[in-house]
Amino acid sequence: MTVTDKNRNESPSSEAHPFQADVAKLLQLMVHSVYSEKSVFLRELIANAADACERLRYEAIAAPALLGDDPKPRITLRLDADKRQLTVEDNGIGMSRDEMVEALGTIARSGTKAFLDRIEAAQKDEETALIGRFGVGFYSAFMVAERVDVISRRAGADAAFRWSSDGQGTFAVSPVAAADAPSRGTRVVLHLLEDANSYTERETVERVVREHSGHVPVPIAIVDKPGAEAGEISDGAALWTKSKSAITPAEYTDFYRSVAGQFDEPALTIHFHAEGRQDYTSLFFVPGSRPFDLFDPDRKGRIKLYVKRVFITDDAEVLPRYLRFVRGLVDSADLPLNVSREKIQESPLLGAIRKGATSRVLGELERLAEKEPEAFTKIWDLFGAVLKEGLYEDFERRDALLALARFKTTGAEGWRSLKDCVAAFKPNQTAIYYLAGDDIERLKTSPHLEGFRARGIEVLLLSDAVDNFWVMASPGFDGKPFKSVTQGAADLASIPLVGAKDEPAPELQDTVKKFLVFVQSALGEAVTQVRASDRLTDSAVCLVASDKGPDRALEKILAGAGRLGAASKPILEINPRHQLIVALAALGDDQRVLKEDAAHLLFDEARVLEGDRPADAKLFSERLARVLEKCAGT
C-alpha cells in the first residue's frame, strides 16, 4: 500500500511494492521469534548507521569531496514523546533511490530462498557486509514500530527519497523535498507502538545504547525533545581499542565494573590484540571476589562478544566453562553471525579465537603464579575449585592446569604446588598420595594419614567435589602417578619412619594373626578382607577400597548418585600393634561372644571415622552395652 500522511511532504510519484507472501511470513517470524528481546532493534539500527559512516570513510579515500564540509561521522538519536517517535540519523554514505529499493526491498524482490542466500553470501564477503545495505536487522524495528520511514540522500547527490512501510504487506518509495531530508546520510523514523512508548524516554534509550552500542566506532548523541541541544552519550572510542599504555588502572577498573557488574577491584587484567589469520581484541578481567553465579548449574560464561565494536551477546562461549569466572569481552573483525546477529555461528575462526583466548588467560595465570605468587594465591582461593574442573574436562591443557593447581597438604601450611610436593618426595616414594573427602578438617584427622605422617610423606588433602573425578582420570604429574591413601595397600614398608633406626619391622604375634582371621569370620560378607595395616600408627582400624575401581570418597559419591547401585564391600585394616588389638587378640575361647561384639564394634568404629553411621544402629547399641557391662563386671 502507498503510505500517505498529510503531515509529510510526499511526491505523488510514490511507488507501492508488495511483499511476496512467503517473505511476509518470514518477516513476521523474524520480528516475533528471531530476537530474544525488543531492545536489540536499537542496536541493529545503530549498527547500520555506524556501518554507513564506515562505508563513507572508505569511499572518501578515493573521493574526498563526498565529505563536503561535514567530515566527522556522527549518529544522532532524536526523541519525540508527543508524536511517539524515535529517530536514528547518521551522516554516512546514504542511499540513492535504486540503492534504497535494492537494500530495503531485498526481501520483497528476491523471495525467501534468495534472501537467505544473500545473507549467507554477505557474511562471507566483508565488503558486502558493510552498510549502505540494510540487512535483516533493520526489520527488527517492526517489533516496536507500527510504521517505519527511511529518508536518505546519498553522499554527493541532490535527490533524496523516502521508504515507508508498516511491515505487513507493502512498502512505498517516493522522492522527498530537499528540506525534509538530511544533507547526507540516512534518517530512520520509528512511529512507535503504544507499548513501546518508553523508547521516547532519555533514560531508557541511554541505558540501551550504553549496554549494547556504547563502543561503536562513531560518536552517538541524543536529543531528548524537539528543539533541545544534542548531548553526547558515546564518544565512539572503545576502551579496548586503545593501547594498554594509554589506559590508566582507574579506567580499567571503571570499565571492569561496568562490563562485569562487580563492585570490587579486578584481581587480574588481560588485554591483548591478536593479528594474523585471526584479527580480534580481548579484554578480560579476573574478579577480586566470587561472582554470585559462579556455581550456577548451567556453568555459563559471561564473556561479551562484539563484532566490529557492535555488541552481539553477553554470554558467548569464548572461554571454557572452567574459566567462567573470567569477565570481559572479545571484539572480532570478521566473525560470522546467524541471521538475527544474536548467535555466533560455529566456524574455524571461532574455534581459533576460543583456543587463542584460553591459552592467553592460562598463560597470564602462569605468569602471575611465577612472578606474583601472593596475587595468584588470592585468585586460587577464590576460583581454584572451578579451575580444577578443567583437569577433568580439558585433556589438552591438563598438564598446564596441573602446574597451576594449588593444594592443601599435610606437609605445610598454605597452598602447595605439585612441583613443591614432588620436590619433597621421600626415599623410595614413587607416587603422589592424596586423601579426598568433603571436609578439610575431617581429612586432617583421618587415621589413613597416620603411617604417611610417621614417614614424613606429604599427602594432598582434596575437599572439593570435582577432586574425586579429575584425580582418578589423571595419569599423574611429572611422571608420578596419583594414589589414594584410602585405596589398596599402602606399600609403605620401603619408606623409613622419621627418626627410626634401619631395623626390620617386628613379626606379628601369632595371637594377632589368629584374631585377624577371627574378625574376618565374624564380619562375614560385610567386608572383602581383614588385614594388618602398615598405614596405621595411632588408630586401631580404618576402611580402604580395593586396588581396582574408585577410592572410598568417589565410591560414596557414585553410590549416592545411583551410579554404582551400592558401594562395594570395603577392606578392614587393623593396626596389629595397637594396644586394644593386642588385648583383644589375647582373649581366650571362653570370651568368644565378647570377641565377636568387639569385631563388629571395630568395623563400626572404622565407619564412624569416615563420617558414616554404624552399619546397624540397634545392633551397635546392643553390642556396645554388652561390652560396657563386661567392663563394669556386671
First-to-last alpha carbon distance for the chain, in angstroms, is 107
User: pLDDT at residue 116 above 50?
Assistant: no
Q: What is the DSSP letter of 249?
A: H
Q: What residues are paired with 285 via a beta bridge?
A: 269, 327
Sequence-distant (≥ 6) Cβ neighbours of residue 392 within 8 angstroms: 466, 469, 470, 473
Estimate the crossing angle of helix 592-609 against helix 617-632, to 10 degrees.
130
**Which of residues 211 and 241 earns the better pLDDT score?**
241
Which of 226-235, 495-504, 617-626 shows the lowest per-residue confidence on average (mean pLDDT)? 495-504
**Which pLDDT does position 33 carry in this prediction?**
55
The whole-angstrom separation of Cα 621 and Cα 614 is 9
pLDDT band at residue 117 under the 50/70/90 scheme: low
pLDDT band at residue 263 under the 50/70/90 scheme: confident
Sheet with 268-274, side-by-side order of all strands: 268-274, 280-286, 327-332, 302-307, 310-316
3-class DSSP assignment, residue 432: strand
543 in Cβ contact with 556 (< 8 Å):
no
pLDDT band at residue 28 under the 50/70/90 scheme: low
User: pLDDT at residue 24 above 80?
Assistant: no
Mean pLDDT on 421-430:
94
152 in Cβ contact with 186 (< 8 Å):
yes
Q: How many CB atoms lie within 10 A of CB 511?
A: 13
**Which pLDDT does position 564 carry in this prediction?**
60
Q: What single letter denotes the amino acid at residue 98?
A: D
The whole-angstrom separation of Cα 502 and Cα 410 is 24
Instruction: Tell me the backbone φ, ψ of residue 509, rounded to 5 degrees.
Output: -65, 145
Q: Which residue has the cell 512507535?
A: 192
**Which of residues 310 and 383 earns the better pLDDT score?**
383
User: pLDDT at residue 321 above 50?
Assistant: yes
User: pLDDT at residue 132 above 50?
Assistant: no
The whole-angstrom separation of Cα 222 and Cα 87 is 10
**Which pLDDT does position 506 carry in this prediction?**
66
**Which of residues 51 and 111 earns the better pLDDT score?**
51
The whole-angstrom separation of Cα 480 and Cα 174 is 78
Q: What residues are paired with 597 via a beta bridge?
A: none
**Which pLDDT does position 112 carry in this prediction?**
40
The whole-angstrom separation of Cα 172 and Cα 166 is 10
- The H-or-E segment that residue 332 falls in is strand 327-332
Enter the pTM of the model.
0.73
Cα 275 to Cα 127, 240, 279, 281, 332, distances in angstroms: 20, 15, 5, 9, 11
Burial class of residue 524, CB neighbours in 10 A (0-12, 13-18, 19+): exposed
Q: What single letter denotes the amino acid at residue 272?
A: F
396 in Cβ contact with 473 (< 8 Å):
no
Cα 425 to Cα 157, 460, 480, 549, distances in angstroms: 81, 13, 10, 26
Q: How many CB atoms lie within 10 A of CB 407?
A: 23
Map out the domains of the chain with their CATH numbers. Answer: 15-234 (3.30.565.10), 239-377 (3.30.230.80), 407-484 (3.40.50.11260), 510-632 (1.20.120.790)
pLDDT band at residue 126 under the 50/70/90 scheme: very low
Mean pLDDT on 9-30:
56
Q: Which of 292, 283, 299, 272 is nearest to 390 (CA)?
A: 299
Rg (CA), the chain: 36
Q: How many CB atoms lie within 10 A of CB 587?
A: 15
**Which pLDDT does position 505 carry in this prediction?**
61
**Which pLDDT does position 340 carry in this prediction?**
44
Estimate the crossing angle of helix 592-609 against helix 510-523, to 10 degrees.
80
Q: pLDDT by residue (tens digit) across 159-196? A: 999 999 887 777 899 999 999 999 999 999 999 999 99
- SS3 sequence of 545-611: ECCCCCCHHHHHHHHHCCCCCCCCCCEEEECCCCHHHHHHHCCCHHHHHHHHHHHHHHHHHHHHHCC
Burial class of residue 393, CB neighbours in 10 A (0-12, 13-18, 19+): middle
User: pLDDT at residue 433 above 50?
Assistant: yes
pLDDT band at residue 576 under the 50/70/90 scheme: very high
**Which of residues 136 and 165 earns the better pLDDT score?**
165
Burial class of residue 417, CB neighbours in 10 A (0-12, 13-18, 19+): middle
Burial class of residue 504, CB neighbours in 10 A (0-12, 13-18, 19+): exposed
The whole-angstrom separation of Cα 572 and Cα 21 is 78
